Amino acid sequence: MSDLIRVTGISATGFHGVFEEERRSGQVFIVDVELRVDLALPGATDDVTTTVDYGAVAKVVEGEIKGEPVNLIEKLASRISSRIFSEFNLVDSLVVTVHKPSAPVQVLTSDISISIERFR
């Protein structure tokens, strides 16, 4: 399937990380999601109930960013993918990218990110 819904730049402050300072002060995380969905029916009918509500997807992602802290952004991405699959039955597969632009590394970087791809 080649149909894709992409929501990029979902940002919120979270308290994820392995260091105490990250957990105490928090930082901005940015998430992009790519959802593989069959869009033939909504394309033919113009019926909003036959597609994925990308506003609702963004709220789910925001909730996970703001939610219970985890050590690794890999875990955060995994939680986001699980929630999307559980709440949006039309999603066949997805890619979740979590950006941590203020990651505490010893080298100047503009961004650190991971991406995971999952299939239903």
Q: Which domain holds residue 65?
A: 4-119
Which residues have a Cβ under 8 Å from the Cβ of 26 and sit 6 or more positions away?
Answer: 13, 14, 15
Give the residue numbers annotated as catalytic, written as ranges. Answer: 100
CA distance 2 to 99: 25
CA distance 78 to 116: 8
Rounded to an integer, the average pLDDT of 64-88 is 98
Domain count, the chain: 1
Rounded to an integer, the average pLDDT of 91-117 is 96
The tokens describing 47, both together, are: 């019926």
pLDDT at position 2, please? 80
Question: Is pLDDT at 1 greater than 70 in this prediction?
Answer: no
CATH of the domain at 22: 3.30.1130.10
Q: What is the pLDDT of residues 91-101, one digit of tens each?
A: 999 999 999 99
